[in-house]
Amino acid sequence: MTESELEKAVREHYSSVYGVALCSCKNPSDAFDIAQEVFLKLLLCDTSFESTEHLKAWLLRCAINKSTDLLRSHWHKFSQPLESVSERTTDPLEKSGENRLIPILMKVSRKCRAVLYLHYFEEYTVADIARILCVSESAVRARLTRGKEQLRKLLENERKM
Amino acid sequence: MEIKEYFYRAFSDIRKDHDLPDDKTICKDILERAKKMKKCDNVRQVKFTEITPEYAEPKKSHKALNVFAGVAGTAAVLTGAVFGLNWLNEHGGLKGPDVQGAGAGYHEDVTEQLSADTTENNDILASFVYDDFTVNVTKYDFDGKSLNVYYDVIFADDCTLSSGEKLASVLPMAIFSEENAAEGFGELISETDNTQSCIYRTTLKAYTEKLTVDFKPNEEGYAEFGGNPFTVYADHKKPETKEIDAVGKAVNGVVPMDETVELGDCSVHFTGYEFDSEVVTFYYDIIGTTRMDIRPMGINGAVFNGTAGTEDKENNMVKNCHATVALYEPVEIARILFGKNLTDLTDKSYTSENAAFAVTVHFDPESVLKLDREDVYARFNKDFPDYVLWMTKLLVTPTHITERLIWENGDQSKAFDYFGNENMRVMMNDGEIKEAHRFSIITADDGSNIVWLTYYFDEPIDTAKVSEVYFDEYRLYGEEIPKLSAGDSFKLDDGATAHIDYMHYDGFIFKTQITVHSDDPDYSTNKMKAKMAADPDDHVFMITGIELVGETGTAFSAESDDKGCDVGYTYFTVLPENGQFHTGRIWDDSSDTNRTVGYIEYGGIVDNNTGYTRTFHTESEEYGTRDIIISPYGFKMEQSGSDYYLKSLHNQLIVVRKDGTVWYSGYDAAGDDSSVDDRQMLFGAFDEPVDFNDVYSLTFCGETFVLDDVAEAPETTE
């Protein structure tokens, strides 16, 4: 992959990759690292892509995998859980101030978050998400349903507060 | 806010919100990192270790469980002296009795032995004199089990306590007997605002003829003051246990009763009971008191769950009480003991001696749809992977459904959420669905891991017309629908024909295929259009399907020519436990009715399955450590989190036979096992089965496993 191709990919897909990484790992710093790893992998790989959509699906898949790797890593298991971090005012997500919606989303279970993000923001169909995540469509549907229900409850609670 | 809008607002400005660098900076950083990286050799040789565990019959845990069933209103047993002056002491408003006074007594003229004739003891029977107030005992009654003491609190003229503090001063005053101290408990059952007239009740665990009573202040402030105890004698002889034999014909599941039990100061009027041979629910009113203190006892092979009722002060009664008891063994006749004023009715130290009366109930089998399979009937493990529940009995009555479950391991709280949030459903012969909502849960208290769950219908159903019973995705009953096997066909509502092509099971992976044939070449296209119109996201139109246990993978294909259209569905699952039989409901959704057309049985024990499943343990710096389990029909592996299976090369199983021929197999589709919460378990079914006996090596996901490490590697031929 050439530098110009990399720049094009970053320009078109970086936000999506960062978004899905954020949804998966919950931490902006980790999401930033993961996004960089994903594009580094793109630069080094010899995969040929049939279309922009194919490339994007590949990038998103890599981002989710990298996030999973991170969450399973030894370091991460012994690091401070986000629940306690989110209570601190120094939480980067809170610090951004302007966007209070994402922290609410982070309370949805991990598997459901990525599916919700891919479906509602990236506007992927259930079938596409199933292919990206390598899971069955019934599993995607189940996660969508559960995720929506969790999110609705969280938003209702937020309104009450 | 709609969820879609929510995501748009949350992520549309995410780069700005999170202060991320611009594209050029990102690219520059990536390029610099790439330059620093050493070029890696992408060829990996992974040393394998084959682990093939011996097949063993599944074991059930016998882990003891804590008692879950509680008793409403369980009270602590008082074991020492308490006198309710804590509040005043803490607030400094109470002046204690004169410590230097004669005999340091804080009461005087105490009658040492009192008559039990309550009609005669209306005068002051005992006084307890303090600087601020005097406690005068004016009356008591005692029937051998329950002692009521009536007393007034008279405040001194110069008492500096506020009215609120005065009121508080008469808060719990306990009385205990010296012989029966560890068994009695007491509570203030009435008081008046101004006169400070109180009644205090002490209830004993067992009948006793006489009781020594003492008044004693709290130990912190007044421990050094003793009193002269007095003795009271029971005015009743030990009562014999009253028996009610409640025989009757169940009406809509309830056996009507009209029996009254007189208990001296109150009576109990039974209006009916339900009994499904394992769980009995009584309906009754308690008359003459507003205290909910008449309950079944969790003894003699019964587990008492709890009671509820409505307090009716106007009529001095508790009406519409109901109490539930589970029995360890199904029986035709059960004798349930009831206790009165007992502290904890699940306390196993109670005996029938402590019972106030007994009610014998009779099972009416005609009112119950009874599924009496004592073997494993269904296995629940959805969303709570650390343990499972085995259903060993299902009873559907006109009013309720009872399940008996056996726990295996783990935290129960998730399962309680699960069973609390899901309703039971029955399908009637005419297709109408009835839901059973309320639930109660009774947990064995004998160390076994049995749980009874009950769900109640809003209105009685006709059990003779029940065709199917469901819980969540589990079909628990429906024997009359046809059992289907590989090779069988069935008609769909829209006129198409479905055919079960095969059912394969290798002791690990179950795989089956159904093909739907229609003479209409546009059948598939039209079905797709209809589904998409109803739900734009629904890209897979399920005309028919099978409910399999656990997470399932599904593959879909459609082919059309001038002879018509064939739509194929492949289903597969990794069975949770080898050796178990499962039932899968086959449904017809061709006209959106989701009608059940039959069922299949699958699973069970595969002959010589030992050795069929191969487990490969791999380690590499790049992909970490993981296990891959491969069976003839498929695989299950922990997703490494890397992207290798995106590459088409890795989407295949490459088999090198011992004769050197190479055979490639894809896998139909992949599913993930969400029952493992923090791990991604990927599983799939191969296009064709693998004969391990004829295999030199397997290459899967880019890794090669040599099965026959004794032989030399054959020269391969495509």
CA-based nearest residue in chain B for residue A149: B3
Of the candidates B233, B262, B292, which is a domain's last residue?
B233
CA-based nearest residue in chain A for residue B42: A45
Say if the Cβ atoms of B540 and A137 lie within 8 Å.
yes
B587 shares its domain with B680: no
Segment B535-550, tens digit of pLDDT: 665 556 788 888 887 6
Which residues in chain A touch residue B11, judged by CB atoms under 8 angstroms apart? Answer: 15, 19, 102, 117, 121
Q: Has the ipTM of the complex gone over 0.85?
A: no
Does residue B68 sit within a domain? no
Which residue segment(s) compose the domain that B109 sits in?
A: 86-233
Residue B272 confidence (pLDDT): 94
More confident residue, B164 or B461: B461
Of the candidates B187, B207, B233, which is a domain's last residue?
B233
B173 shares its domain with B100: yes
B314 shares its domain with B359: yes
Residue B621 confidence (pLDDT): 54
* Closest of B343, B78, B344 to residue B214, by C-alpha: B78
Residues 39-78 of chain A with CB under 8 A from chain B are 39-41, 43-44, 47, 58, 61-62, 65-69, 71-72
B186 shares its domain with B92: yes
Residue B659 confidence (pLDDT): 87
Identify which of B231-240, B268-277, B654-663 has the greatest average pLDDT.
B268-277
Confidence label for A62 from pLDDT (cuts 50, 70 and 90): confident
B457 shares its domain with B409: yes
Percentage of chain A lying above the pLDDT 90 cut: 2
Segment B343-364, tens digit of pLDDT: 665 566 677 777 889 998 988 8
Give the span between the Cα atoms of B54 and B609, in whole angstroms.
10
Distance from CA of B577 to the nearest CA of A (A): 21
Residue B496 confidence (pLDDT): 94
Identify which of B118-132, B238-252, B509-523, B598-612 has the greatest average pLDDT.
B509-523
Say if the Cβ atoms of A32 and B624 lie within 8 Å.
no
Which residues in chain B touch residue A138, judged by CB atoms under 8 angstroms apart? Answer: 552, 554
Of the candidates B365, B394, B412, which is a domain's last residue?
B365
Segment B174-225, tens digit of pLDDT: 455 554 544 444 555 555 544 567 776 666 656 677 776 665 543 333 333 3
Helix axes A110-120, A52-72, angle to 10 degrees: 160
DSSP B611-664: TTSEEEEEEETTTEEEEEEEETTEEEEE--SSSGGGSGGGGEEEEEETTSBEEE
Residue B239 confidence (pLDDT): 66
Domain count, chain B: 6
CA-based nearest residue in chain A for residue B572: A136
Does residue B678 sit within a domain? yes
**Above 50 in pLDDT, residue A83?**
no
- Which residue in the block uniquely carries the two structure tokens 């209306």? B122
Segment B372-386, tens digit of pLDDT: 554 444 555 555 555
* Angle, CA B488 vertex, CA B483 and CA B490 arms, to 5°: 85
DSSP A121-141: TS---HHHHHHHHTS-HHHHH
Residue B706 confidence (pLDDT): 85
Does residue B593 sit within a domain? yes
Give me the mean pLDDT over the B285-306 stretch.
84
Residue B371 confidence (pLDDT): 63
Does residue B400 sit within a domain? yes
- Torsion angles phi and psi, residue B125, rounded to 5: -95, -30
Q: Between A and B, how many residue pairs show a Cβ–Cβ distance under 8 A?
A: 150
Q: What is the CATH number of the domain that holds B531?
A: 2.60.40
Please give the mean pLDDT across all residues of chain B. Answer: 70
Residue B113 confidence (pLDDT): 37
Confidence label for B387 from pLDDT (cuts 50, 70 and 90): low
Distance from CA of B511 to the nearest CA of A (A): 15
Q: How far is CA B682 from CA B42, B298, B574, B673, B685, in A?
A: 23, 47, 10, 7, 11
B218 shares its domain with B248: no
Least confident range from B301-315, B459-473, B571-585: namely: B571-585
Residue B226 confidence (pLDDT): 41
B301 shares its domain with B214: no
Give me the mean pLDDT over the B29-37 stretch.
78
Give the span between the Cα atoms of B428 and B326, in whole angstroms.
27
CATH architecture for residues A3-160 = Up-down Bundle (1.20)
Segment A20-43, tens digit of pLDDT: 888 887 778 888 888 988 898 888
Does residue B56 sit within a domain? no
Q: What is the CATH number of the domain that holds B668?
A: 2.40.10
Quick one: which H or E segment has residue A21? helix A3-25
Give me the mean pLDDT over the A136-161 stretch.
75
Does residue B334 sit within a domain? yes
Give the span between the Cα atoms of B583 and B548, in whole angstroms.
8
Q: What is the CATH number of the domain that holds B248?
A: 2.60.40.1630
